[in-house]
Structure 1
């Protein structure tokens, strides 16, 4: 498809350049209203793909179409054609589109579907995606789910469409864990919170009695770890989002901070401050055995595993300025990789394994950047007065981070790997320290191929 070529070109140019029982649903206000945001795309590099998304028929059909439109548009690689320009209406799954009527309005793809109630009180959500220029079907699926699951189904349809059109895995059926902020600078309240990636369904998971820092997902989207500071303690917790069970990693001789799971979820790496020194440790969650990985006099913190679990990237000021280092997971082979000026913090290894994201401060500004795992090819994706804490989408193409304006609030933002698609995230409330979940499990949504074979070559 043409969009695959556009994505490949943009990437090449860029390289060269049931919820917890005690959970509280957020009340009315900006965090709970329909999120809106502007997406900036540098059209000199990438012209968004023109897609016509016809309103789905049946219960919640128009709402499903609306979520699809929001998801695909927010990716930066699609532009939804206004339904007011549609010539053909009333599309059904039993018929192909009238192709000339869609090419006439410039549609490079046509997406339509239906929501059909079933006798078992569930719905079938069927859809078709066509290329009107080649006059062939790109993909067709049917999801079965309860009526309450319509938003998740819409995200899953968006994932299928995104993958078929770009060749990349989707990222829409995901959630964001973050630190929700409220109050004033001198009396700030922080709570652990979670929200769908498009900004809907935000929920508080803690009540504000503790200061919450660095929440992170396991490879299991129901498991997270985070740091909590109380009046007389600091603890690292493991937290199950389905059951609400919270478990402390234990008491340490010193303050523990910046936890992060290993790729298989069997270990947690973090730092401990002891006697004025900060080093990286790793704990096996089955045996609870703790191993020390660094012993340098400097501050070694923010460990992040490579996806193959063979290496860890961390930041250290052992050379006098915070820089990024990589080591083997047994602590051997420690070596610096960052080479530029300024301070490097908060490294995060891409799920693809090829890049490391980081926060950099230099010249009075902060930026979110990426570099190769050996430090090569460093480039900035976003820069502003203050931003930090990059977290990768599960497809390794987008990064979420927090940004603060001078004298203003801190919000969640998103940038793609080209640095040319950037937007405030769907969640419009105050928040920091975001972490992107893996793709959610298929249950309770059932997926089945339907409506005949695809006729367009890939």
Structure 2
């Protein structure tokens, strides 16, 4: 189990900022076009058993930061001086000479009982001062990637002033086989595509996994019985059970409430599809909509008071918001084309969605009143957005055309400037981002 020491865990690592200097800060509100250059010398191995892990941790930290599009790593070939001791004074002039605005230094020690201790500092080079206190993280050697992500989270938060998202996971549908006979199974991975673990086999089709707010359970849709049924999985034990036994009815598109105690989903009954909610503790169900149209893809607001969903009640797919207890919905999408798969941002200020218009698919965002619609992507088929825990990055599925085409996971920030494929093997779809891990 990963053990984290968040308070200043070792003395003498932080000095006060110089009074006349302006602390390093990256302003995200206006959109960052020029990435901030940073240097991350390989963390110092404080004993022989730590050398390989120290190098690997440094690489992950640098990749996390550079992958945001907000930071640019200065290659080690440009370094004038190195870091051979964690406690050595910083040669600020050498880092200024290569235009490094931020400097990350660290050290790793491996213990005889199979654990590692990782400490790091962040420096504002042009202010000649540390940026915050030094921190130390401890855990088993197998936790080294999580520790690296935690270091990255701290650096990101200190420079941007916002929460980060690196120490998180993504559940998704792993796909294999030909396009017309695709085999699907649930899998989980680190946010950056590493550490893939399979949660189900490929004996039945699975769709639309969704994390609980605590990240310990997953809702998903299974075709095990021949038609869609919602199942609830405990991640620790990898055991599943049906959400409800509703003979003859299809249930799909589930989503947890922010407190994890309620599930909202679509249920087909007599050819009509409406939204329902269920209390997990009692199994009590409440019908939320009652219309001769298809209501699906519900998503709670962060405070649990409202639900955004898609409906074709106006003649084609559009987005609507209603109280979480049901009631008259308000339409929020009015642009050309069809809108679907809405997801409320963790910040509460935006809704991400899939849009289809003029033969193209897009991932977009809009304010919760429907204003300021902005399309972030465009391709043959982009769909199924999911928000990073900090509400600044969206992951989604992109599928390529043709018999040989396949699904792949991509991410994009809310400015639309940093579109990236998630590095992973094989086809994948239906991503859902977890909260930050504890």
TM-score normalised to structure 2 length: 0.91
Select 1:275's aligned residue among 254, 270, 273. 270
Q: Does 1:435 align with 2:429?
A: no
After TM superposition, give the deviation of residue 215 of structure 1 in Å: 0.3
Deviation sequence 1:320-345 (CA, Å, 0-9, x none):
01000000011113111111110000
Moved >2 Å (runs of 4+):
1-5, 90-93, 117-122, 230-234, 426-429
Select 1:4's aligned residue among 20, 26, 37. 26
Q: Give the structure 2 partner of residue 55 of structure 1.
A: 42
Any conservation in 2 of the 1:223–1:238 contact (CA below 8 Å)? yes
Deviation sequence 1:344-379 (CA, Å, 0-9, x none):
000000000000000000000000001111111111
Measure the CA separation in 1 of the matches of 2:89 and 2:315: 65
Q: Give the structure 2 partner of residue 204 of structure 1.
A: 198
Counterpart secondary structure, 1:195: strand
Q: Does 1:412 align with 2:409?
A: yes
Measure the CA separation in 1 of the matches of 2:205 and 2:284: 27
Counterpart secondary structure, 1:148: helix
Q: Cα RMSD over matched residues? A: 1.2
Measure the CA separation in 1 of the matches of 2:180 and 2:426: 19
The count of aligned residue pairs is 406
- 1:55-74 aligned within 5 A: 55-58=42-45, 59=50, 60-74=53-67
Select 2:233's aligned residue among 221, 234, 239. 239
Deviation sequence 1:7-61 (CA, Å, 0-9, x none):
1211xxxxxxxxxxxxxxxxxxxxxxxxxxxxxxxxxx61111000010122111
Measure the CA separation in 2 of the matches of 1:155 and 1:112: 15
After TM superposition, give the deviation of residue 102 of structure 1 in Å: 0.2
Q: Does 1:153 align with 2:147?
A: yes
Q: Give the structure 1 partner of residue 96 of structure 2.
A: 103
Any conservation in 1 of the 2:179–2:406 contact (CA below 8 Å)? no
After TM superposition, give the deviation of residue 93 of structure 1 in Å: 2.2
- 1:313-328 aligned within 5 A: 313-328=308-323
Measure the CA separation in 2 of the matches of 1:300 and 1:235: 17
Any conservation in 2 of the 1:195–1:427 contact (CA below 8 Å)? no
Q: Give the structure 2 partner of residue 355 of structure 1.
A: 350
Q: Does 1:84 align with 2:77?
A: yes
Measure the CA separation in 1 of the matches of 2:238 and 2:335: 43
Measure the CA separation in 1 of the matches of 2:25 and 2:75: 20
Q: Give the structure 2 partner of residue 448 of structure 1.
A: none
Q: Give the structure 1 partner of residue 33 of structure 2.
A: 46
Unmatched segments (≥5 aa) in structure 1:
11-44, 442-458
Deviation sequence 1:263-298 (CA, Å, 0-9, x none):
111011000111111100000001100100000101
Q: Give the structure 2 partner of residue 127 of structure 1.
A: 120
Measure the CA separation in 1 of the matches of 2:432 and 2:142: 26
Any conservation in 1 of the 2:54–2:107 contact (CA below 8 Å)? yes
Any conservation in 2 of the 1:351–1:395 contact (CA below 8 Å)? yes
After TM superposition, give the deviation of residue 3 of structure 1 in Å: 4.5
After TM superposition, give the deviation of residue 231 of structure 1 in Å: 4.9
Any conservation in 2 of the 1:91–1:112 contact (CA below 8 Å)? no
After TM superposition, give the deviation of residue 431 of structure 1 in Å: 0.5
Any conservation in 2 of the 1:414–1:422 contact (CA below 8 Å)? yes
Measure the CA separation in 1 of the matches of 2:121 and 2:423: 26
Measure the CA separation in 2 of the matches of 1:244 and 1:231: 19
After TM superposition, give the deviation of residue 245 of structure 1 in Å: 2.2
Measure the CA separation in 2 of the matches of 1:9 and 1:315: 31
Measure the CA separation in 1 of the matches of 2:129 and 2:328: 54
Q: Give the structure 1 partner of residue 307 of structure 2.
A: 312
Q: Do the aligned partners of residues 281 and 231 (structure 1) sit closer, same or farther apart at CA in structure 2, a change above 3 Å counting? A: closer
Q: Give the structure 2 partner of residue 346 of structure 1.
A: 341
Any conservation in 2 of the 1:412–1:428 contact (CA below 8 Å)? no
Any conservation in 2 of the 1:411–1:428 contact (CA below 8 Å)? no
Measure the CA separation in 2 of the matches of 1:130 and 1:111: 6
Measure the CA separation in 1 of the matches of 2:232 and 2:316: 32
Q: Give the structure 1 partner of residue 138 of structure 2.
A: 144
Q: Give the structure 1 partner of residue 17 of structure 2.
A: none
TM-score normalised to structure 1 length: 0.87
Q: Give the structure 2 partner of residue 216 of structure 1.
A: 210
After TM superposition, give the deviation of residue 123 of structure 1 in Å: 1.8
